[in-house]
Amino acid sequence: MIKIFKYPLMIFAMILWSCTDKDDNIDDNLASLWELNEVLSDPGDGSGTFHEVDSDKYLKFFEDGTLQSNYSLCELYEMEAGIFTTTYDADASVINLPGDECGNFLQYEIKEGELYLYYPCFEACAEKYERVR
């Protein structure tokens, strides 16, 4: 009788185990401080890769939907320093850009605990941030 229940119980346990979230230790909460640590810039042939940068650029996301940066988000590279405040939409994964000179928004995503910010370039370009706190 025990053998009858053994296999269905094992199958049920395997199904439960396979459905659990493997990334429970990765915090996808956006509201925190993020520092720039890598930049992707493709030369046009698809060979671009992320490379480390020495930067003090940060993004600070607040739970009320506001975002603060110490550099303008209009450019991939740190061009204009200052304190810049804008908004973001967590449901659409976009950062709203003020003014017409920058475009309307930037897309972002969190993958494996890192924040990727995608700029509207002709070739692939992005910034990668790591959570500070």
What is the reported pLDDT for 41?
84
27-131 CATH choice from 3.40.50.300, 2.40.128.280, 3.40.50.10860, 3.10.105.10: 2.40.128.280
What is the reported pLDDT for 44?
83
Work out the average pLDDT over 97-125. 87
Express each pLDDT in 20-46 by its tens digit: 444 443 456 899 999 999 999 888 888
* Type of residue numbered 20: T
Whether this prediction's pTM lies above 0.85 is answered by no
CB count in 10 Å sphere of residue 124 = 16
pLDDT, averaged across the chain: 81
Q: What is the largest CA-CA distance in the chain?
A: 74
Work out the average pLDDT over 77-101. 86
Q: How far is CA 106 from CA 10, 17, 103, 125, in A?
A: 47, 37, 8, 12
